[in-house]
Amino acid sequence: MPRIALKVEYHGKPFAGWQRQADQPSVQGAIEDALAKLEPRQHTIAAAGRTDAGVHGLAQVAHCDMDKDWAPFRLSEALNHHLKPLPVAIVDAARVDDDWHARFSAVERRYLFRILMRRAPATHLDGLVWRVNQPLDAQAMQAGADHLIGHHDFTTFRSSICQSASPVKTLDELRVEEVDTFWGPEIHFHVRARSFLHNQVRSFVGTLERVGAGAWSPEDVRTALEAKSRAACGPVCPPQGLYLAGVGYPDNPFT
């Protein structure tokens, strides 16, 4: 059975998340339904990461096993035809070895979070950003973020329903930048690690927003981290504005 890697882009607003669910729409379910139109049988695809409801994918990676020896380009075109009109697109596809795995072969995940700073509602960006009414101090947020980079016990920033075996992770990058956009000033968080705990990025962003707003000091982030207690975490931000921006592999299958 030829194995094909898929690079997937999707708008998370109409979905209950990536993972297939019996009674709610999911990105995985949409792609598996499209595959069944090409090869009528039950399909199960694996992804590099499971995104929650409302979270978007810029470059999610999944793999599927096919009966027919599809040319990757033809498979991506056929899937995109059957995925219409859902906001899901296969932007690239590549043949990979039979033991290659979208999740277990990955060595890095990258996330982007966008905060739009303006009082007016976000019309064109509805569901794509977290809008806050007040300006935020990007330098203060970076100072707080610096306490989180490295190898730590992230119990404070871990959801109570997280299924990871350990709260200890290595955070390789947490970069905060202010960006001028057509819609107004935004804060972008660039987050990179081999793997993440459930709600870890949203816990980071919600906590650092408090720093940017002046309610917390940068040192308060270090204190929260060292507390190793979920109660010490700041508010968890909403999923709108969070994007799975990329997945890294020792050999990029899409090059």
End-to-end C-alpha distance for the chain, whole angstroms: 22
Give me the active site residues, please: 52
Rounded to 5 degrees, φ, ψ at 222 are -60, -40
Considering the chain, tell me which residue range(s) the CATH 3.30.70.580 domain(s) occupy: 3-105
Q: Which of 251, 246, 229, 188 is nearest to 60 (CA)?
A: 246
pTM of the predicted model, to two decimals? 0.95
Residues 110-246, CATH architecture: 2-Layer Sandwich (3.30)
What does the DSSP assignment read for 216-227?
S-HHHHHHHHHH
- Per-residue pLDDT band for 59 (boundaries 50, 70, 90) equals very high
- Per-residue pLDDT band for 1 (boundaries 50, 70, 90) equals confident
209-249 pLDDT per residue, tens: 999 999 999 999 999 999 999 999 999 999 999 999 999 99
Q: What is the CATH number of domain 3-105?
A: 3.30.70.580
Residue 234 Cα distances to 31, 186, 221, angstroms: 36, 20, 9
Q: Determine what percent of the chain is predicted with pLDDT higher than 90.
A: 96
Considering the chain, tell me which residue range(s) the CATH 3.30.70.660 domain(s) occupy: 110-246
